[in-house]
Every structure is written in C-alpha cells, then in structure tokens.
Amino acid sequence: NTEGGETILLVEDDPLVRELSRDMLERQGYRVILASEAADAERISAGSHFDLLIADTKMSSMSGQELARRLRTVHPELRVLFVSGYEEVPQEEAQPTLPTEGYIQKPFSADSLSRKIRQILSRA
C-alpha cells in the first residue's frame, strides 16, 4: 500500500523523536532530510528538492504554519504534514487550510503516519 520513494524534509527539535521518525519513514521507503529547527529547514530548502514537509505546529523559533508559508515562497507546490504533541490543539492548527496539508497527533504509529503521508502526497 505504501509507495514511498519521495523525499521528506522532517523538522523536529527533539533528537530522539527526530531519529525515531526518520527510522520509521526510511523503513517505509522515503528519503529523509533532517532539520532540528525552522532556520535549518529554511537553509536546507533553498538548495534541496523534497516532496513533503513534516513540521511540528509548535517550534521554538516559529510555528510550523509560518515555516510552511516561508518555504512555499521557494516551493509553491509544497505539501505539508503538521504534527502536534499537545492535547488541546487550537482549532486553526487542527484544521489545515490547504488541500495539500494534513495533521497528525503525537504519538502516532508507523501505520497512521504512512496513511496520512500517502493521503497528502496522492492529492492532486
């Protein structure tokens, strides 16, 4: 069911979660580019091609939504999966505003992550 093969830019400030998520994604056949913060992601995105951004809704320097807005100036067709570990997510964060966006709550299983990624990447 998983196609894989696409490149994912994963932005996660927690080193353990970053490594676990990378392992999960690589086992599903994705190529993963890691960034520990939004500034890293912006720098990396300037010279890299990737099919999907996975970013936390809450990061130390800026929100995942703001990062997605900034990256779309360079990559207008960017698809995004927002992740949150917070129980109570503000309504505007829980509802992606574009059809090329999705949302998943931490903790998530490899299966639920895989399904959500395929859902976003398969949208026209």
Query: What gap in Å lies between CA 74 and CA 2, rounded to an integer?
Result: 28
How far is Cα 37 from Cα 55, in angstroms, rounded to an integer?
9
In residues, how long is the chain?
Answer: 124
Q: Supply 29's token pair.
A: 């056949």
What is the distance, to the nearest Å, from the Cα of residue 3 to the centroid of all Cα atoms in its chain? 17
pLDDT for res 2: 44
Q: Are 18 and 10 in contact (CB under 8 A)?
A: yes
Asked if residue 48 lies in contact with residue 32, where contact means CB atoms within 8 angstroms, the answer is: no
What is the edge-to-edge ordering of all strands in the sheet holding 7-11?
31-35, 7-11, 52-56, 79-84, 101-105
Which residues are bridge partners to 7 per DSSP? 31
Spatial neighbors of 57 by CB under 8 A, at least 6 apart, are 63, 64, 65, 82, 83, 84, 86, 89, 93
| Residues 49-106 pLDDT 10s | 899 999 988 888 888 999 999 999 988 989 999 998 766 555 555 566 677 899 998 8
Averaged pLDDT of the chain:
87
In this prediction, residue 31 carries a pLDDT of: 96
